Every structure is written in structure tokens, then in C-alpha cells.
Amino acid sequence: MKNKYEWESYTCQPSQEYKGNENIYRVEFAKGDILTLEGNPASLPFGGSSGVWGDSGKSWTPQHGTPIGADVIYYAGYDDKFYHLEAEFPIEEMKKAMDTTYQYNDYRKEKFSGLIFGFAPEGMVVVWKEYGVFRLELGRYQAKVITNDKDLEQRLFKGWSMNREEVAERDFLPDASCKKWDMYRKRYTFRVKMENENQALRLFQYCFTNYNGEQDIIFMPTLPATLYANRALPQILELDWETSGRERFRGNIFLNEKVIFEKFKNFKTEEKQEFEIKISKDNRVLELFLNHEPVEVDSVRIYKGSVMYEGSY
């Protein structure tokens, strides 16, 4: 049973520079235990968090078993506090998750490959399930402030080049808040519909990289639109298409955070919205619309595609 399930653990935090600290929201761990159904020992990576929200950018030694909770103690320099996270994961969901696979393309399916722990201000912790390129939120958890922390301070700072007062002086953010990352978790009901002027176009996949840290792929979407789904707002929309055996493309639409959340702020979660993606006949222009109105985005990029699918020309 010990080696039936193998996966990796990751930690991350929002990425932001402040007063020379390139990752002001990084947290440091004094304890990082992951609890498993089988009783196998599992843990978070040693040291501190890294990367960006939803993606640590670092790997760790393989863990084993069915994760059902976490017992984590960490220090956040930006508010000079130690936090204790005691999280219980839904057991039946995790048992099912270990045996679930997601289809990536014609040739590849992804099985459970990891747990990602994200640490936001005010003790907010989000955990994602990872299936290769897929990231799905497991839940949001709340860590509690440890008030009697002198023993933890001595243990954590023992080998540091800076003491606690120096770290606090450099990093302290009096207004650090989890409000933005809770906003990112809001879910809405929408679909994506593609419109184009080229009858030879074949669409193969949509990839959603969402503000809440999730990443999802809809493989071989039903034309001309995906099904309505309840999901967080997309930060990047990516799609693969072909118009001939020599014309393969990948398009990326980078949404503007302020614009897209302003447009959705008065929508109810159950109300149906529709994104439209328009591709010009010559494959050079990619435009985004919401409920038939143009959406201002940060940028659009179109690349020559290299991936071939079963339905490729």
C-alpha cells in the first residue's frame, strides 16, 4: 500500500516585490506534516514557499499515500506572525481523486501527481490538486495565529543571518490582506464560443489559466462552444487550432485583471455569461468579446503551432 500512490508536495505564495524583497509574501516553515489515510509519513518541502500563486516552480521528493489533511506551522515576515494550519480534507473526495485521470490530448492522460499549498496573507491557505498540467482547487483553509511563539522563534531563526526584528523591519506590511485572493476564488457560470471566417478551421483545445490558481484544459471542445461551467475567471485563455496541414496555431489571450473583474462584479454566480473568441480568416487576428461586447485585454499572441492531434490535417 505504501507505494500505491506517489505524488509530490509543493508550496507557493502570491508573487510581489517590496523594498528589495523579491518575494515579500514568502513564508518559512517550522513544521510541514501532511496526513495520509494509510498513515504514511508525508511532508511539505523543506524551507520556504516559492513561485507564484498556484505554481511553486520547484519539485520535492515523492510522497506516498492518500492525503487527508495537514498540520503546518509557518512564519510570515510581512506581518511578523507564526501561524498554525490544521486542515482536514474530505476523505471520500481524496480517495476518489487518487484514482481519477484527466485527458490531456489524444495520447496522454494525467493521474494525480501532487498537492500544492498556497499561503496568502491573514492565514489564508488554498490547496490545489495537481494532475500533470491540470490544477483544481481542493479548498480554502484558515490558519490561526500562534500567540506564544518564543520557542518557535528561537528554533526558526537560529541559523538565519537576520534576527526576527531585522526581518520585520525589512518586510512588515501593515495592510497585508487576503481580500484579493478571496476575490480570485469567486466563481461564475460561463462558456467560451469560437467564431471564425474559415470553414477549414479545426479547433483542438482550450486551456484556462485562472486567477484562482486553477488550470484546466477542454480537449476537443464541441464546436462552436464549450458547455457552460462554473469556474473562476480566466487570466490566460489559450487555444490550439489548424486551418491546413501547414497552418497550425496556438493563441494566447492575456486578460486584464481590473477590466475583467469590473465586468463580472455585478453578475450572480448562476447567471450564464458567454465569452466569444473571434479568429480572422488569415489567422492573424484574435479578439475577445463578453456577451457580444469587446473586452480590453493586456495582450494577444499567436504562435506557429507544433502539436499534432488525431484529427490534424
Q: Out of 121, 151, 182, pick the residue that ends a domain.
A: 182
- The number of domains in the chain is 2
The model's pTM is 0.93
The C-alpha cell at 36 is 495520509
User: Is there a contact between 85 and 75 (Cβ–Cβ < 8 Å)?
Assistant: no
Same domain as 194, residue 142: no
21 and 106 inside one domain = yes
Say what the pLDDT of residue 1 is.
Answer: 44
Q: Are strands 247-255 and 144-146 parallel, antiparallel or unpaired?
A: unpaired
Annotate 190-199 with b (16+ C-beta within 10 A) or e (fewer). bbbbbebeee
Q: Which residues of 49-67 are buried (b: 16+ CB within 10 A; e: fewer)?
A: bbbebbbbeeebeebbbbb
Task: Of 209, 53, 180, 37, give the one whose Cα is nearest residue 116.
Answer: 53
Domain shared by 282 and 139, yes or no: no
The DSSP-derived string for 276-297 is EEEE-TTS--EEEEETTEE--E
Residue with cell 490544477: 135
Q: Which domain holds residue 45?
A: 6-182
Q: What is the pLDDT of residue 140?
A: 98
Residues 6+ apart with CB under 8 A from 141: 70, 85, 87, 125, 126, 127
- What is the pLDDT tens value at each position of the chain, 313 positions in all? 446 799 999 999 999 888 777 889 999 999 999 999 999 999 999 899 999 999 998 878 899 999 999 999 999 999 999 999 999 999 999 999 999 999 887 778 899 999 999 999 999 999 999 999 999 999 999 999 999 999 999 999 998 988 999 998 889 998 999 999 999 999 999 999 998 888 899 999 999 999 999 999 998 776 678 899 999 999 999 999 999 999 999 999 999 999 999 999 999 999 999 999 999 999 999 999 999 999 999 999 999 988 888 888 8
Clarify whether residues 165 and 271 are in a common domain.
Answer: no
Asked which of 143, 161, 182 is the last residue of a domain, the reply is: 182
Is 147 in the same domain as 192?
no
How far from chain centre, in Å, is Cα 38? 27
Is residue 118 domain-shared with residue 247, that is, in the same domain?
no
3-state SS class at 257: helix
